[in-house]
Amino acid sequence: MVACVIPSGPALLGAAPRAADRPVWATRWFCWLLFAGNALVILAFWWASTGSQPMLGAGDMLNAVGRVTGLLGTYLALWQLLLMTRQPWLDAAFGLDKLAVLHRWNGYMAIGLLVAHAVFQTVGYQLLDGLDPLSQLSDFVTAYDGLLPAIAGLVLLLVVVGISITVTRRRLAYETWYFVHLYTYLAIALAFGHELATGADFIASRAFTAYWLVLYAAVAACLLWFRLALPLLRYQRHRFRVEHVVREAPGVVSIYVGGRYLDALPTAAGQFMLWRFLDGERWWQAHPFSLSLPAGYGWLRLTVKRIGDFSGAIPSVRPGTPVLVEGPFGSFTERACAGPRALLVAGGVGITPLRSLAERLAALGKDVCLVYRCSRPEEVLFRDELARLAAAPNVRVEYVIGERREGRRGDPLRMAGLRQLVPDAATREVFVCGPPGMTSSVADSLERLGVPPEQLHTEAFRL
């Protein structure tokens, strides 16, 4: 590791704000309309193919419900692929935290509908064929093409959802969790083979089959473009490489990534990117880390705390290592700061996006108050850089040092402490970033201090 001096960045002080993207509400409505419109088209095709046919008994009714739940469950599974790959247009519409919530609940609904599909179809065919459950399952496997792979796909999805449950997720390394999620692609491919081979609606309508092929092709194109082609093309242009690895604090290092034409990258302070270091140990892993420097310094900088196997080995990355970069992602940026004053509350390594965001907001003339909490003085990151920022007349930096304990009276980041530190918090645009417990507690305290929900932006580091 080497020492690296960060210039004060005077060119930023006169920088004009970037052009605003399409308004968030418009992008969000477009996403909802796209989601609902395709669902209605699927239901219309189902009704035209088999839904409008006479139902002569309970078996026919259950099979009809089974077909609908199967179609909608598979449709939600396709959306799950888009949500899990952080498409930029979805990220722009909802932001990281909301997108994570949508991903979780969409997954639960998808697996619920697919399980319901299996149950309704099994019971429906039982009533029609007069078979017991085991005999009916045996008949499915032996007499229906593609059904055994579909059962395997459903089991794979159940495993993925089970591992995604918070209690289980916390016990797994990121790499294990990531690779298990890759089986979602296989599960959906197996399900589609079953749809084409035995789905009554597909057999009855070539147009419906063509429509689903277009849906699958569109999702595959998004995945291939954003996850493979775009990072490779971006690397071809910018030639990202590791320049320096700098120790910031015990267990924390910053990696400076250089390259060509870095000022042309559409990054905003507060965003994060997915980083893949192309050496013998890490080329198969891509991990998300925030940009801890705003644009204009000639480097991209990520700051990493030793937490798991990957982050623990980061200090061994050598200068000159090529880097593939995906992103940027996140709406935790200057565009979310509509008012003239901002309050930034950071916990631990949560300072990484807020350090760059504070500088950017100050450069735009905003009144910035940064409250930074660390357990011990030696864990404070970017102390010299924050001191330079605090020298500006429109920036105030407050350090809160000490362990956070649930329910402790006098905690400076609970309501009374925040009222004393920042009396005008309710009039500021607020950004909070840190571990989930701290982020949730601070957000609750700020809401009780009168900060409107539309002025409160949170981003939690899921450790």
- The string of pLDDT tens digits covering residues 197-225 is 666 677 777 888 889 999 999 999 998 99
Q: Are 104 and 197 members of one domain?
A: yes
User: Residue 418 and residue 456: Cα distance in Å, rounded?
Assistant: 14
Residue 90, in any domain of the structure = yes
User: Quick one: tokens of 331?
Assistant: 């709406």
Q: Sorting pLDDT into bands at 50, 70 and 90, what band is 405?
A: low
Write phi, then psi, for 250 (nearest 5 degrees).
Answer: -55, 120
Of the candidates 312, 329, 346, which is a domain's last residue? 329
User: Bridge partners of 287?
Assistant: 275
DSSP symbols for 63-94: HHHHHHHHHHHHHHHHHHHHHHTT-HHHHHHH
Q: What is the mean pLDDT of residues 121-149?
A: 83
Provide the pLDDT for residue 455.
Answer: 92
Q: Sorting pLDDT into bands at 50, 70 and 90, what band is 68?
A: very high
User: Quick one: tokens of 36?
Assistant: 């609902």
Asked if the bond preceding 54 is cis, omega within 30° of 0, the reply is no
- The neighbour count for residue 327, using CB atoms within 10 Å, is 23
Does residue 261 or residue 6 have the better pLDDT? 261
Percent of the chain scored above 70 by pLDDT? 87
Provide the pLDDT for residue 138.
Answer: 84
Provide the pLDDT for residue 388.
Answer: 95
Q: Are 42 and 163 members of one domain?
A: yes
CB 15 within 8 Å of CB 363: yes
Q: Are 310 and 346 members of one domain?
A: no
**Whether residue 5 has pLDDT greater than 60:** no
Q: What is the mean pLDDT of residues 302-322?
A: 84
In terms of DSSP bridges, do strands 287-290 and 272-277 run parallel, antiparallel, or are they unpaired?
antiparallel
* 32-62: pLDDT as tens digits: 999 999 999 999 999 988 777 777 889 889 9
Q: Sorting pLDDT into bands at 50, 70 and 90, what band is 423?
A: very high
Percent of the chain scored above 90 by pLDDT? 45
**Whether residue 383 has pLDDT greater than 70:** yes
Q: Are 166 and 286 members of one domain?
A: no
User: Residue 216 and residue 221: Cα distance in Å, rounded?
Assistant: 9
**Whether residue 428 has pLDDT greater than 90:** yes
Provide the pLDDT for residue 445.
Answer: 93
Write phi, then psi, for 396 (nearest 5 degrees).
Answer: -125, 130
Q: Are 103 and 184 members of one domain?
A: yes
Name residue, tokens 């839904």.
Answer: 51
Provide the pLDDT for residue 458.
Answer: 87
Residue 17, in any domain of the structure = no
Residue 155, in any domain of the structure = yes
User: Residue 160 and residue 286: Cα distance in Å, rounded?
Assistant: 19
Q: Are 38 and 169 members of one domain?
A: yes
Contacts 24+ apart (CB under 8 A), 119-126: 119/66, 120/62, 120/63, 120/65, 120/66, 120/69, 121/62, 121/63, 121/66, 121/67, 121/70, 123/62, 124/58, 124/59, 124/60, 124/61, 124/62, 124/63, 124/65, 124/66, 125/59, 125/63, 126/59
Q: What is the mean pLDDT of residues 261-275?
A: 91
Q: What's at 393, amino acid-wise?
A: P
**Whether residue 457 has pLDDT greater than 50:** yes
User: Residue 463 and residue 261: Cα distance in Å, rounded?
Assistant: 33
Average pLDDT, the chain: 84
* 95-119: pLDDT as tens digits: 766 787 888 899 899 999 999 999 9
Nearest in space to 306 (alpha carbons), one of 284, 318, 289: 289
Of the candidates 329, 360, 386, which is a domain's last residue? 329
Q: Are 209 and 289 members of one domain?
A: no
Q: Provide the domain count of the chain.
A: 3
Q: Are 172 and 281 members of one domain?
A: no
Q: Sorting pLDDT into bands at 50, 70 and 90, what band is 9?
A: very low
Residue 19, in any domain of the structure = no
Of the candidates 280, 301, 329, which is a domain's last residue? 329
Q: What is the mean pLDDT of residues 145-156?
A: 80
Provide the pLDDT for residue 463.
Answer: 46
| Eight-class DSSP state of 41 | H
Residue 12, in any domain of the structure = no
Q: Which domain holds residue 392?
A: 338-460
- The neighbour count for residue 69, using CB atoms within 10 Å, is 20
Provide the pLDDT for residue 337.
Answer: 92
User: Residue 175 and residue 168: Cα distance in Å, rounded?
Assistant: 14
Q: What is the mean pLDDT of residues 356-365?
A: 95
Q: How far is CA 323 from CA 86, 255, 348, in A?
A: 19, 11, 26
Q: Sorting pLDDT into bands at 50, 70 and 90, what band is 16?
A: very low
* 233-242: pLDDT as tens digits: 999 999 999 9
Provide the pLDDT for residue 112.
Answer: 93
Run of H or E residues at 180: helix 174-198
Q: Are 221 and 320 members of one domain?
A: no
Provide the pLDDT for residue 170.
Answer: 59
